[in-house]
Amino acid sequence: MEPTPDEPISRTPTQRVPRPLLRMRWEALTYLHWDLAPETVAAQLPDGLEPDVHEGRAWVGLIPFRMAGIGIGPAGVPLPFGSFPETNVRTYVVGPDGGRGVYFHSLDITRSAPTMVARLGYQLPYCWSRMAIGRRGTQVSYLAARRWPGPKGARSRLVVEVGAPLAEGETTPLDDFLSARWSLYAAGPRGGILRARVDHGPWPLRHARIVHLDDRLTRLAGYHLDGQVPTHVRYGGDVDVAVGPPRRAG
């Protein structure tokens, strides 16, 4: 039976974050998504979360981007992390409180200190990796190679051709379902589910086309997608983000 979320899909935050724990900027973000049977995704989720579905399918994303301008507290007091690439493998879930959000299987970054902070503070599976983002004309390239916790050397390489912005009326219900997400969920250290609210402007989505894709990170998350072409590809661009503190959701 499909879950029945209490929260609508909305291009603007369903609840603002007036006093964020963290502020940051997500830049040069690309969305790749595969559609899977809901039971395939459900098998990879902790107790308390169910796959959120669109047209009867669950969705798994490979999302590379650049993290910049990390600050702490409502004023965004800068932290000494600078900017760095990130690649996450994620899916879309309904929480025990009926909310919609993102569940992260892995988040690879190049900084060891933020890896530990995020693992402890938000209970998120951050990994330390060697990474790079490059741009040549309209092509953007992303590279990640896992260092810790392993398997060491697991790689993801993606090159996309970025196209024109989506015109008025081109944004689809699937675009909104995948990009308009205002919470993250994680398994709590003592059981139960934690939820943190996320607040940012609408994504300036653009058309995009895969030039090259060689990825093992989705396989490490439990999804065997070898040879499957992503169903959904978009370039998301840049947004400023506020993230609230984690709260118990169930």
Flag residues of the chain having pLDDT under 50: none
What is the reported pTM? 0.94
All structural domains of the chain, each given as residue ranges with its CATH number in brackets, are 22-245 (2.40.400.10)
Tokens 């402890």, located at residue: 120
Residue 205, classed as helix, strand or coil, is coil
Distance between CA atoms of residues 19 and 27, nearest Å: 22
Are 87 and 217 a contacting pair, CB within 8 Å? yes
pLDDT, residue 190, reads 84
pLDDT, residue 149, reads 86
Quickly list H helices, 74-231. 112-121, 173-179, 217-220
